[in-house]
A and B are shown apart, each in its own frame.
Chain A
Amino acid sequence: MKKPDSLQGTLDLLVLKILSRRPRTHGYGIMAAVKDCSDDLLRVEEGSLYPALYRLEEAGWIRAEWIKKDTGRRARVYELTAAGKKQLGMEESRWLSASAAINQVLRTV
């Protein structure tokens, strides 16, 4: 696994984005969503995902809740908080401007 801080920014962004589209998703669901949405190009490993989730929870951007599933098993689902929504907007615009800049560099050089 990579060091958490190198990918941290993008992982946080992905998790927040997915939770904004699909609120109340559990850890495995988020992992699967990343895989699906990126057509298997991106993969998040459990080892990175759960620490990221706890970190986001601690920062107050997402909140967790236990729900009862049909199978009788409890699952911990996550959703965005108001602060999380704000954070998502910020991260998104930061990513867009960063990637636009990189694209520009790639094109012009």
Chain B
Amino acid sequence: MSLWSRVANVFRGEKLSSEIAEEMDSHIAEAVEQGRDPEEARRALGRSYEQRRQREIGHEIRTVRWLELLSADIRFGWKQLKRNKVTSIVAILSLALAMGACIGAFRLMDALLWRPLPVAHAERIFAISREAYDQQGKPIRSDMWAYPSFSLMRDAVKDQAELIAVSPASRTDLTYSSDQEMEKANVQYVSGSMFGAFGLQPALGRLLTESDDQKPGAHPYVVLSHDYWTQRFGQDRQVVGRTLRMGNGIYEITGVIDGPFTGTEPGTMTDIFLPDMMHPAVTRSDSSWARTLVLVKPVAAKTGAGLEPLRQKLSAISRVFEEERAKGFTGADRIFFQKIIDATLLMEPAGAGISSLQEEYRKALGILAVLVVMVLLIACANVANLKMAQSAMRSREMALRVAIGAGRGRLVQMLLVENAMLAALAAGLGALLAWRSAPLVVSMIQSSDTPVRLLLYTDWRVLGFGAALVFCVLLLFGVLPALRASAVKPVSALKGGEDDPQSRRRLMHGMIAAQVAFCFLVIFISGLFVRTFESLANKPLGFAPDNLLLLDVVTQQGQPAVVWDQIADSLRSVPGVETVAIAGWPLVSGGNWNNFVSVGGAAPGPIMTSLLAISPGWAETMKIPLLDGRDFRAGDTAPGQAIVNLAFVRTFFDGKNPIGKTFQERENHYRVVGLVADAPYLNLKDAIVPVAYIPFHAVDAQGVAQAETQETFVVRTAGSNPLALASVLRKAIPQARAGFRVSDLRTQSEVVRAQTVRERLLAMLAAFFSFVALLLAGLGLYGVLSYSLQQREREFGIRIAVGAGIGDIAWQATSRIFLMVMTGAAIGAALGMASVRSVETLLYGVKGSDPVTLAGPALVLLVIALLSALPVIARASRIDPKMMLRAE
């Protein structure tokens, strides 16, 4: 009989008995038919019937017994957990904290990095990028492609793969009715063929196809995501055929995607999909704006061997394209372009989608995961030590069990059940923690202008991870103590002696060393992150971001600079406004324009200059000191005049006075009229680049003023809270001039803070984890110290009786553990030194090899070790030898 039928028998015991009886009855009937005496036949059968019953009952017992023992173990385990309430709570809480952090980190990493896109054949999606090396030999990578390059590649590899061009999702102003009701939505330009290739179905209307993506500007159709349709339109079925206006274009909604697909960028949920052909730069070879996804055909994907030829083919075509493009470039550094041409084409799996958020946080999350795992290991070592100390108390109980016949397997099972309950309780609590904490982290990544929306699922992937985690944790903290405890020698234990206390203590000491090593590592790494954040946050900016309000203002048709000046004038009269200036975009906001410039007719050098269009008074409003020359004034134009920063002077004029000198950017000539101090342009981390500020009054070759559709007003306010003026200024702009509208409103401080979001996140979480690690390590140390004190109370009593001093006793009680702490710290320091290279790219203004960064954790650990030793030493000093010896 199979195990299954045995288990099944347990649940149909009644039926079984009646079946046996029936077979016996049929036997007797047969015998009677053959002319035998029924009584005699019954008697002959009697014993066999009994035996059969016995046998079946035996099976039942065997199966049921196992279940019964398990439930008895569970009841007993629960009783044990309740009896040692403090230990259990400490164990559960520390495991829950660590496991919760693990699950939270997993959810986050899964959602951002691993979860396949909800499309057909996500496993066959790859992304291609180009990698070149800059002057310093650092790799620069770009996964953005010019559309003409993309279409060449698409046509060339038609047979092996389907190529899809997707722009990054961008937050865009659009309206379903009038200008007054502008709203924002995430918009992504995609290949028309994407919907078919991804196997997406319409929930409503129709999706775009290849024929919606043929001629530049000729396909004003959009498709909505199901999520956006639900949020914005409440699933209104009339939405198909409605139009929306974006920029100057009118688009018609043709359909809604069925299912959870919200674009190819984890972290940003696309609301509206447009055909690539509607992108303004679709025909331009000099504008790289689309990522290229490669949906490999099954044959090539299956063998894997098909991938490399495909990559080479794509690489060859891309190289030809870049060579062709480079011919068009004059006046630029040849070496630079050769580098671009020689870039390697990389093809990597992108089944989980591809986004800059992934690139930015992949490493940071990886490091956090390592920290979290270390905290988990610390917690496991801690609980293992607690359990080990506990099992020492229970050694008599165990010995008794062995003496009355319990097998070792039974004892291990009993203890494992107890530990498994502990782990499961901790996991449950931890899951609650993770459920709350992961969205918190996502909200920390947010900054006002880049909303991050990450779908955090709780499904079989997370559950599976949780179950695996419980198993690992049980393995880590449960098995060793259980084996150790069950290996009692009843005779010595019952006699009152400890069975081999040395080996138990050695094990516990080893755990302490491991714990301290991990703890050191966690503190060391988080120290690096905290100092990185500090040095970024406290970095002198070169401008004063406080009290600066930034208004991104747009106007539909575009207006010349004089009109913008008039609006600035009217803002100046608003009470509470100190100064107002205009710039193309705010500093360190991500806006960027750079190019090679040439000085004195020479060929352009290898260093790029960043440019920014500004109005007169901008430097003053930003509080960037004017060092020489003058500010812009009315009548200055671009091309024409320029103000440069110190880095520009250092790079191009050997640090000599630049006023009156000229330079050339493309065909535009500029004369330097002013010199300002350095201020970061693109981000806080990079070294200051040469910057040329030019007047935002742009004129063409004939001197005709150019129309501008978008500028940023930089407003310095009087009060301490610049946002107090927000609503007034929002209203003031359309009042000043009809057709102008505030599209975005931020403070400069916010923009600066957004620069350090990742560093702050890392610093905060790492600091939190090192706090937890310290707490756990302290608890663990205290536990082991007090255990060993308890074991040696008698010995200390005798020592005191024969005249040992308190210092002596304290030394005796703690020296070995301090040795372990030292060992652990040394190992941790070695690990830290070894690992510092892998976190280097996330650091700023701090060196891993710095003695301070190593001394810090060592000092902290020493303090913690002393703190946890103090109560134990105090207790040791109170040992009364008379009491102790009399008790024996």
Contact = CB atoms under 8 A, between A and B. Distances in A.
Contact of B48 (A26, A28, A47): A47
Contact of B30 (A26, A51, A74): A26
B26 A76 contact: yes
Interface stretch (B39-47, B108-116, B177-185, B426-434): B39-47
Contacts of A49: 48
A28 B44 contact: no
B31 interface: yes
Given A46-B41, A57-B1, A73 B48 contact: no
Contacts of B51: 47, 50-51
A5 interface: no
A76 B45 contact: no
B34 interface: yes
A74 B26 contact: yes
Contacts of B30: 26, 28-29, 75
B23 interface: yes
B55 A47 contact: no
A74 B47 CA distance: 22
B27 interface: yes
A39 interface: no
A75 B41 contact: no
B181 to A, nearest CB: 78
Contacts of A32: 34
Interface residues of A, number: 23
Interface residues of B, number: 21
B27 A27 contact: yes
For B19, B26, B34, the residue with the greatest tally of chain A CB atoms inside 10 Å of its CB is B26
B22 interface: yes
A57 B6 CA distance: 13
Interface in B32-82: 34, 41, 44-49, 51-52, 55
Interface in B7-40: 19, 22-23, 25-27, 29-31, 34
B6 to A, nearest CB: 10
B52 A51 contact: yes
Contacts of A40: none
A49 B27 CA distance: 12
Interface string A58-81: 101000000001010111100000
Nearest to A64: B23
Contacts of A58: 1
A54 interface: yes
B31 A47 contact: no
A22 B31 CA distance: 19
Contacts of B45: 46-47, 50
A73 B26 contact: yes
B48 A50 contact: yes
B44 A27 contact: no
A98 to B, nearest CB: 27
B15 to A, nearest CB: 12
B17 to A, nearest CB: 14
A48 B22 CA distance: 18
Given A28-B31, A57-B1, A46 B26 contact: no
Chain B at the A interface: SS class: helix
A99 to B, nearest CB: 28
B10 to A, nearest CB: 16
A46 B44 contact: yes
B836 to A, nearest CB: 63
For B25, B41, B48, B55, the residue with the greatest tally of chain A CB atoms inside 10 Å of its CB is B48
Contacts, number: 56
A54 B52 contact: yes
Contacts of A29: 30
A46 B22 contact: no
A16 to B, nearest CB: 18
Contacts of B47: 1, 47
B36 to A, nearest CB: 10
Nearest to B1: A58
Contact of B23 (A47, A69, A76): A76
A32 B1 CA distance: 27
A45 B31 contact: no
B27 A46 contact: yes
A53 to B, nearest CB: 9
Contacts of B34: 28, 32
Contact of B26 (A26, A45, A47): A26
For B1, B23, B44, the residue with the greatest tally of chain A CB atoms inside 10 Å of its CB is B23
A27 B23 contact: yes
Contacts of B48: 46-51
A73 B51 CA distance: 24
Given A28-B31, A54-B52, A74 B22 contact: yes
Contact of B52 (A48, A50, A73): A50
Nearest to B31: A28
Contacts of B46: 47
Nearest to A27: B27
A60 to B, nearest CB: 8
Contacts of B55: 51, 54
A63 to B, nearest CB: 10
Nearest to B22: A74
A69 B31 CA distance: 15
A60 B2 CA distance: 9
A10 to B, nearest CB: 18
Contact of A73 (B19, B29, B31): B29
B56 to A, nearest CB: 9
B254 to A, nearest CB: 64
B44 A47 contact: yes
Contacts of B41: 46
A34 to B, nearest CB: 14
A76 B33 CA distance: 17
For B29, B30, B31, B47, the residue with the greatest tally of chain A CB atoms inside 10 Å of its CB is B30
Nearest to A51: B51
Contacts of A26: 26-27, 30
Nearest to B26: A75
A49 to B, nearest CB: 7
Nearest to A45: B44
A49 B51 CA distance: 11
A1 B44 CA distance: 10
A102 B41 CA distance: 36
Contacts of A1: 47
For A46, A58, A76, the residue with the greatest tally of chain B CB atoms inside 10 Å of its CB is A46
A58 B9 CA distance: 13
Contacts of A51: 48, 51-52, 55
A54 B44 CA distance: 17
A71 B30 CA distance: 11
B308 to A, nearest CB: 51
Contacts of A48: 48
A90 B26 CA distance: 32
Nearest to B45: A46
A75 B30 CA distance: 10
A58 B25 CA distance: 22
B464 to A, nearest CB: 36
A75 B33 CA distance: 14
Contacts of A27: 23, 27
Contacts of B1: 57-58, 60
Interface string B834-875: 000000000000000000000000000000000000000000
Given A1-B47, A26-B30, A50-B52, 5 more contacts: A50-B23, A51-B51, A51-B55, A73-B26, A74-B26
Interface of A: 1, 26-29, 32, 45-51, 54, 57-58, 60, 69, 71, 73-76
28 contacts: A27-B27, A28-B34, A45-B44, A46-B27, A46-B44, A47-B46, A47-B47, A49-B48, A50-B23, A50-B52, A51-B48, A51-B51, A51-B52, A51-B55, A54-B52, A54-B55, A57-B1, A58-B1, A60-B1, A69-B26, A73-B25, A73-B26, A74-B22, A75-B23, A75-B26, A76-B19, A76-B22, A76-B26
Interface of B: 1, 19, 22-23, 25-27, 29-31, 34, 41, 44-49, 51-52, 55
Task: Pick the 3 closest A-B CB pairs, nearest first.
Answer: A28-B30, A50-B48, A46-B44
